[in-house]
Amino acid sequence: MALFRKKPEQKTPQEELVLPRHVGIIMDGNGRWAKKRALPRTAGHRFGAEKFKKINEYCLDRNIEVVTFYAFSTENWKRSEEEVSNIMDLFIDYLEEWLTMDDSKNMKVRFLGDRTPFSDRAKQLMQEVEEKSRKFSNQLNIAVNYGSRSELVRACNLLKNKEGEITEEDISSSLYTAGQPDVDLIIRTGGEKRLSNFLLWQAAYAELYFCDTLWPDMTFDDIDRALEFYSSRQRRFGGA
Ligand code: FPP
């Protein structure tokens, strides 16, 4: 049942559902999806990249303020050269496509992660996309060469010369997600139940939603189920 499948301006009883402000998505299962079809892993990533665009638009339609997709982790460099270069090509294709999209997408894009190892072309495109999208309001974060531990180490280094005590606010504002609300809901596809170094600080109080769907098979209904799950949770933030 697609509870949210409506034009944003239409009113439904589901308006009462409590929506997360910030959703983090771990897109897992591209490789297994391809294997099931006797296709190369690269095909899984190609379908995965298409699904990323659709799910991102759906989250935008649902007016979720911030969505963060985990596209490439600091650990993903361990994969074969062919697979890494395929993911990089898909990423560059997406950036180039983004720059030709019309303004109606309304997404302010930020890339979370260390850009040092990326090609000059990728770095230039990331900068261009961030600059051109600055005027928009809904936030799309794409985590590339991202790892939460290295993000925290970076934050510590940024703060090392600060006078006085370091506060939680100092750390939050030294992360790649500075200025954004903490993540409320993390969705992980592909059946694994772990965070894999994703938004560990920001997810301190997040609700966690795991589903078996392999990422390229992800549907809007799966997202709705995750949002319903979130809405049904009573968040106490450590209180009674
Ligand atoms: C996890 O599935 C997926 C990745 C590590 C790569 C995700 C990349 C994309 C969706 C495409 C590029 C992204 C953009 C933003 C255009 P897995 O390969 O670990 O799957 P498995 O667990 O089944 O092997």
Mean pLDDT, the chain, whole residue set: 92
List Cβ neighbours of 85 (8 Å cut-off, separation of 6 or more). none
CA of 221 to the centre of ligand 1 (A): 21
Output the pLDDT for position 17.
Answer: 84
Output the pLDDT for position 58.
Answer: 96
Does residue 12 sit within a domain? no
Output the pLDDT for position 9.
Answer: 46
Does residue 13 sit within a domain? no
User: Would you tell me how many other CB atoms lie within 10 Å of the CB of residue 226?
Assistant: 23
Does 49 contact ligand 1 (Cβ within 6 A)? yes
The whole-angstrom separation of Cα 42 and Cα 86 is 6
Percent pLDDT > 70 in the chain is 92
Output the pLDDT for position 102.
Answer: 73
Does residue 236 sit within a domain? no
The whole-angstrom separation of Cα 204 and Cα 182 is 8
Sheet of 107-112, strand order: 107-112, 138-146, 66-73, 22-26, 185-188, 207-210
User: Is residue 203 over pLDDT 50?
Assistant: yes
Residue 108: beta bridge partners?
139
User: Is residue 187 over pLDDT 60?
Assistant: yes
Confidence of residue 235 (pLDDT cuts 50, 70, 90): low
CA of 41 to the centre of ligand 1 (A): 9
Task: Give the count of domains, the chain.
Answer: 1
CATH code where residue 108 lies: 3.40.1180.10
User: Is residue 174 over pLDDT 90?
Assistant: yes
Condensed to tens digits (0 to 9), the pLDDT of residues 189-201 reads: 999 999 999 999 9
- SS3 labels along 49-92: HHHHHHHHHHHHHCCCCEEEEEEEECCHHHCCHHHHHHHHHHHH
The whole-angstrom separation of Cα 100 and Cα 119 is 21
Condensed to tens digits (0 to 9), the pLDDT of residues 1-18 reads: 444 444 444 445 555 789
Does residue 7 sit within a domain? no
Does 52 contact ligand 1 (Cβ within 6 A)? yes
Buried b / exposed e along 195-205 (16+ C-beta atoms within 10 A):
bebbbebbbee
* Mean pLDDT, residues 140-144 taken together: 98
Token output for 167: 């506060």
Buried b / exposed e along 163-190 (16+ C-beta atoms within 10 A):
eeeeeeeebbebbbbeebebbbbbbbbb
DSSP string, 200-213: TTTTTT-EEEE---
Does residue 94 sit within a domain? yes
CA of 181 to the centre of ligand 1 (A): 25
61 in active site: no
Condensed to tens digits (0 to 9), the pLDDT of residues 60-105 reads: 999 999 999 999 999 999 999 999 999 999 999 999 999 998 766 7
> How long a stretch of residues is the chain?
240
Determine which one of 61, 76, 114, 222 is catalytic. Answer: 76
Does residue 64 sit within a domain? yes
Residue for token digits 């296709």?
Answer: 39
Does residue 6 sit within a domain? no
Q: What is the pTM of this model?
A: 0.92
Confidence of residue 148 (pLDDT cuts 50, 70, 90): very high
Domain of residue 201: give its range.
Answer: 18-231
